[in-house]
Structure 1
Amino acid sequence: MGRRFRGEGHHKVDTKGRVSIPALFRHVLAAEDPDCATGDNANLVIVYGDHRQNHLKCYTVNAINEIDDKIAAMPRGTKQRRYLERLYSGMSLPTQVDETGRLVLPAKLREKVGLDKEAFFIATGDSFQIWNPETYNEVHGVDDEEWLDDMGEDFDPLELLDLAQGEG
């Protein structure tokens, strides 16, 4: 795993479905595309997912290759492998950043997640997500606030890393 995405941002979506990618995200996309030479447009894969997914998940070339390799290592014919193949190969769109640093999102994808005039970008490590800003707030705003309130005033988010490693 190489460079990671960091940050968030709101960007306008025009009537043709073009939306600017945050500059920091573009740098990661280029660095994590082995075929992207200096000055070239970076490639990425947008996974739009099944009926339960209400956002677009965007992967660098290296990140999606890592996922594809893990899927290929699973036993053929298993339900889990077939689902992951459909999700990451079938319910996805390979695309490229254009010369001005934008993505062109097809109408099908915009309609699926309710993107109209504005998109919210949020980094998630080796990928980033594109949300309708209102949907993002509905899904994450209240749940995250309630969860944080339950954790107490002296909660340190780094404690979660200890839990992830089996400590504590």
Structure 2
Amino acid sequence: MARRFRGSEEVKVDAKGRLSIPAKFRRVFESCDPDWETGKRPQMVIVYGFDDWTHLRLFTIEAIDEIDESISRMPRGSAERTYLETLMNGLSEEAEIDGDGRLVLPHRLREKIGLDDRAFFMASGDYLKVSTPETHEAELQSIAAMVPELAPGADPLSLLPAPEAAA
């Protein structure tokens, strides 16, 4: 299994749309890019999604390859495959981290999610969500409201499915 993103971080966005990718996140992009080697720029795919998306998703190359393989196993012409192909291929673009550890976001993507002078990275396993700090706070409240009530002091890991029995 590929390395996963962990943690969150707020960064500044300069007037040219450059934002520094924190080192802990850059290491994941590097390790999950099969073509990356010292001196090269790690690659990623930015999925910007449909009109109602308020964040960007930065996927590692390994994650995108895995998603592409899963989509290719779906029935051609199915609504689900068409939706996922449109989302993951048509509403995305390839990008790279520059030599200074920055990502340059095109103006239209910054405008789409309302990004001005600050960006918020939130780890989501094999991708990073990028949004405004305000959008991030609203999303955290929304996620908390989705989860069933846990008894005081209950272990949140109790929400995980039970392990499969050994054969």
Same structural fold, with TM-score higher than 0.5 when normalized by the shorter chain: yes
Match of residue 101 from structure 2 = 101
The one-letter code of the counterpart of 1:162 is P
Q: Distance in 1 between matches of 2:101 and 2:11?
A: 12
Match of residue 140 from structure 1 = 140
Match of residue 10 from structure 2 = 10
Match of residue 75 from structure 1 = 75
Q: Distance in 2 between matches of 1:147 and 1:44?
A: 30
Question: In the TM superposition, what are the counterparts of 1:30-69 in structure 2 within 5 Å?
Answer: 30-69=30-69
| Aligned pairs, number | 165
Match of residue 89 from structure 1 = 89
Match of residue 154 from structure 1 = 153
CA 1:149–1:90: 2 relative to 1, 3 Å: closer
Residue 12 of structure 1: CA displacement? 0.2
Q: Distance in 2 between matches of 1:67 and 1:142?
A: 26
Residue 22 of structure 1: CA displacement? 1.3
Over the residues paired in the alignment, what is the CA RMSD in angstroms? 1.9
Match of residue 118 from structure 1 = 118
Residue 53 of structure 1: CA displacement? 1.3
Task: Map Cα deviations across residues 56-113 of structure 1 (whole Å, 9 max, x no partner).
Answer: 0110000001001111111111111111111000100100000010100001110111
Residue 39 of structure 1: CA displacement? 2.5
The one-letter code of the counterpart of 1:34 is P
Tell whether the 8 Å contact from 2:7 to 2:123 is kept in structure 1 after alignment. yes
Instruction: Indicate the SS of the match to 2:121.
Output: strand
Instruction: Indicate the SS of the match to 1:120.
Output: strand
Residue 160 of structure 1: CA displacement? 1.4
Tell me, which stretches of 5 or more residues in structure 1 are unaligned? none
Tell whether the 8 Å contact from 2:47 to 2:93 is kept in structure 1 after alignment. yes
Match of residue 24 from structure 2 = 24
Instruction: Indicate the SS of the match to 1:162.
Output: coil
Question: TM-score, normalised to structure 2's length?
Answer: 0.92
Instruction: Indicate the SS of the match to 1:152.
Output: coil
Residue 152 of structure 1: CA displacement? 2.7
Q: Where has structure 1 moved over 3 Å in runs of 4 or more?
A: 146-150
Q: Distance in 2 between matches of 1:76 and 1:65?
A: 18
Q: Distance in 2 between matches of 1:29 and 1:46?
A: 12
CA 1:134–1:33: 2 relative to 1, 3 Å: same
